[in-house]
Structure 1
Amino acid sequence: MTDSNQSPLTDEQITAVQGVVDRVNSYQETAPEGTVESHLRGGLGEAGIELTDDQVAALTHEIEANGSADASQVLR
């Protein structure tokens, strides 16, 4: 699911993304719509990880639909 203009993510980057996803997962059930994506983007920025809009949307969808996301599965 990576954009052809972006290099594949390293294992370290996937681990950092998963940390952000786990943090967002912890409060997503009570979050207003749009909050999950906003917090994902903020956490990714803090971690210095840039994802495409499609990748962020895929992670957001997984979190909102399933209550969690496995970054390695969603992003690879």
Structure 2
Amino acid sequence: MSSIYVFRETNAIQRQVLICGSPVQYNNVQRIRLDAGNTISLSTFSHNGSDIDISINGNNNNFYSPLNPYSYGEALKK
């Protein structure tokens, strides 16, 4: 099954390091996953998909948290 992902800044976002030449540290970016039949309003961001907050730390070898934000939730659906 194919999915579409929307990344969105919310009030929970924490931009810790966003400086040219430095590793990015960006916390609590909302990731919305839309599967077939799901909808989203891009003006209000109301949706019937699934969402999680993800973080990125460019100082780490595995810089995403959770490690694979694109597959997160697959195990929960099965």
- TM-score tier, shorter chain, comes to under 0.3
Identify, as 1 or 2, the structure richer in helix.
1
Larger radius of gyration: 2
TM-score, structure 2 normalization = 0.26
Identify, as 1 or 2, the structure richer in strand.
2
Instruction: Work out which structure has the larger RCO, using CA pairs closer than 8 Å and 6 or more positions apart in sequence.
Output: 1
